[in-house]
Structure 1
Amino acid sequence: MLLGKAVRLERIFNRNTGRTIIVPMDHGVSVGPIGGMVDFKGSVNRVAEGGANAVLMHKGMPRCTHRGYGKDVGLIVHLSASTSLSPFPNAKTLVGTVEDALRLGADGVSVHVNLGDVSEREMLRDLGEVTSRAAEWGMPVLAMMYARGAHIPDEYDADVVCHAARVAVELGADVVKVPYPGSLEDFARVVEACCVPVLIAGGPRMDSERDLLTMVHDACLAGGAGLSIGRNVFQHERPEVLMKALARIVHDEWDVERALELLHGAE
């Protein structure tokens, strides 16, 4: 591994635990300025203070969020985009380059692929091109892998998630993000099929804090390298406290009950 890539990965991952907590904040392109994404700098500060290892955003937003104070936090620049206004919202297109991310001082880039979509071949081509270019610069690549197509009845099916994760590894991604397939045993299969760190996605907003913490706890127990969760964090009424609870699970191996006590004890 190039020294530059190793250094950048250490800014994204906790070097002691080998795990990470990434908070995606790329939702403004997809769905607009939703709750938690209006005061963008404040949102970044809250999750950083809570213990996030990195935040993820599009290339135009670091100029709005560079704080110059508080805890340091890694930066991943997202290179894929589509909007909910499109008749083809699952068709992601590249809107940035590895060089854009380098100029912004980023520690990594990310690419989103929806397997099974009619534009799958273009998204796979984009991922392959980004990993090749990133390898030249020692830039880590996070691949967000989902299976979303007309002939895919269940994107959380363990076999489907395993396939999606393996595609990312085979095309050169350094870190893979996939939906949690629903059980510790199924996610362990996903991790086993990959030789790079695997993170769980958060998906839609969850109503239960216990369910969120349990999912993260079980994913780590199954060998996962942490999480990449956005709305369930930045839309929480106290994101910095939730982050502290998540960090205790991911990096200190707390159980769910203890993390819940921390979360509600701060009220």
Structure 2
Amino acid sequence: MYLGKKVRLERIINRDNGRTIIVPMDHGVTIGAVDGLVDMRETVNDMAIGGADAVLMHKGLVRCSHRSAGKDIGLIVHLSASTALSPMGNTKTLVGTVEEGIKHGADCVSVHVNLGDPNERLMLADLGKVAEACDNWHMPLLAMVYARGPQVPNSYDAKVVAHCARVGVELGADIVKVPYTGDIESFADVVGGCCVPVVIAGGELMDSTRQLLQMVHDSVKAGGAGVSIGRNVFQHPRRIELVRAMRALVHDNADVEQALAIVGE
């Protein structure tokens, strides 16, 4: 039996507690070069200093963010994309392969699926193909699964989010990323129906650092495996300290007040 997938997973998930802090940086394809993602080396370096376990980006940014010094950090290469300029922006298309991820030094690859979209079937087919390739190459797979479509009145509904997580695990993901449902009890149900680590998305920019850290704390208390949060992290004015605070919550079981003190608030 090959241990490739296990070895790679342990580069992005703490082997002692099964938790992770991932900072996605794939926003440029969707909405352009947002603040925080212009100097990629600086941003990745800050995430590494803060103690993030991995960063996530499209293949072309790997060359712009690789550092020849400093603390190591895991790499997840994102394989699917769409732009906000498209009339069908929720339909994600594969723009990379597992083999390309390997060439770029990835420890994991990721795919985005929007359930409820009119082209859901195409995204599910892509997820299935990538999952097969990941098994062949012993590469971990993170599935970002959201409910976005005309028949989805509330994408944060606990039953809807649980369905998203279940689709991810049933189609072969090793880590599933979904929105937080808003409370510990309902998110515990989401985690309970998924036999692989479940991490939460950050969503839109939040009103306060406390709100963000409370969400991280509660998701972990519900049994979640950590976070995959982008803009709320790399655009934060004290982003290194914020990552340290999230690390305290995710890996050291700190409370929210302790985490806020690390940020300096």
Same-fold status (TM-score > 0.5): yes
Q: What CA distance in whole angstroms lies between the structure 2 residues aligned with 1:35 and 1:205?
A: 13
Counterpart residue number, 2:109: 109
Root mean square deviation of aligned Cα: 0.8
Counterpart residue number, 1:171: 171
Q: What CA distance in whole angstroms lies between the structure 2 residues aligned with 1:16 and 1:167?
A: 27
Match of 1:161, as an amino acid?
A: V
Counterpart residue number, 2:99: 99
1:114-133 superposed matches below 5 A: 114-133=114-133
Deviations along 1:197-244, one digit per CA (max 9) or x if unpaired, are 000000011121111001000100110000000000000011111000
Q: What CA distance in whole angstroms lies between the structure 2 residues aligned with 1:49 and 1:17?
A: 21
1:218-229 superposed matches below 5 A: 218-229=218-229
Q: What CA distance in whole angstroms lies between the structure 2 residues aligned with 1:240 and 1:17?
A: 22
| Alpha-carbon shift at residue 17 of structure 1 (Å) | 1.8
Counterpart residue number, 2:42: 42
1:5-24 superposed matches below 5 A: 5-24=5-24
Match of 1:22, as an amino acid?
A: I
| Alpha-carbon shift at residue 31 of structure 1 (Å) | 0.3
Counterpart residue number, 1:162: 162
Counterpart residue number, 2:28: 28
Q: Which runs of 4+ in 1 moved over 2 A?
A: none
Deviations along 1:30-75, one digit per CA (max 9) or x if unpaired, are 0000110111111111011100000000000111111011110000
Q: What CA distance in whole angstroms lies between the structure 1 residues aligned with 2:2 and 2:118?
A: 36
Match of 2:17, as an amino acid?
A: T
Q: What CA distance in whole angstroms lies between the structure 2 residues aligned with 1:62 and 1:262?
A: 30
Counterpart residue number, 2:211: 211
Match of 2:130, as an amino acid?
A: V
Secondary structure of the residue aligned to 1:57 is strand
Q: What CA distance in whole angstroms lies between the structure 2 residues aligned with 1:222 and 1:254?
A: 14
Q: What CA distance in whole angstroms lies between the structure 1 residues aligned with 2:166 and 2:158?
A: 12
Q: What CA distance in whole angstroms lies between the structure 1 residues aligned with 2:191 and 2:107?
A: 23
Match of 2:155, as an amino acid?
A: E
| Alpha-carbon shift at residue 2 of structure 1 (Å) | 3.7
Secondary structure of the residue aligned to 1:38 is coil
Q: What CA distance in whole angstroms lies between the structure 2 residues aligned with 1:167 and 1:254?
A: 31
Counterpart residue number, 1:153: 153
Q: What CA distance in whole angstroms lies between the structure 1 residues aligned with 2:212 and 2:34?
A: 20
Gaps of 5+ in 1: none
Secondary structure of the residue aligned to 2:254 is coil
Q: What CA distance in whole angstroms lies between the structure 1 residues aligned with 2:206 and 2:48?
A: 21
TM-score, scaled relative to structure 1: 0.98
Gaps of 5+ in 2: none
| Alpha-carbon shift at residue 104 of structure 1 (Å) | 0.8
Counterpart residue number, 1:184: 184
| Alpha-carbon shift at residue 24 of structure 1 (Å) | 0.2
Counterpart residue number, 1:236: 236
Counterpart residue number, 2:56: 56
How high is the sequence identity, in percent, across the aligned residues? 65
Q: What is the aligned residue count? A: 265
Deviations along 1:132-187, one digit per CA (max 9) or x if unpaired, are 11100100000000000011100000000000100011101000000001100010
Counterpart residue number, 2:249: 249
Match of 1:78, as an amino acid?
A: H
Secondary structure of the residue aligned to 2:111 is strand
Q: What CA distance in whole angstroms lies between the structure 1 residues aligned with 2:167 and 2:61?
A: 29
Q: What CA distance in whole angstroms lies between the structure 1 residues aligned with 2:131 and 2:34?
A: 31
Is 1:65 matched up with 2:65? yes
Q: What CA distance in whole angstroms lies between the structure 2 residues aligned with 1:17 and 1:207?
A: 30
Q: What CA distance in whole angstroms lies between the structure 1 residues aligned with 2:14 and 2:48?
A: 14
CA contact (8 A) 2:238 2:263 kept: no
Counterpart residue number, 2:90: 90
Q: What CA distance in whole angstroms lies between the structure 2 residues aligned with 1:14 and 1:72?
A: 14
Secondary structure of the residue aligned to 2:251 is helix
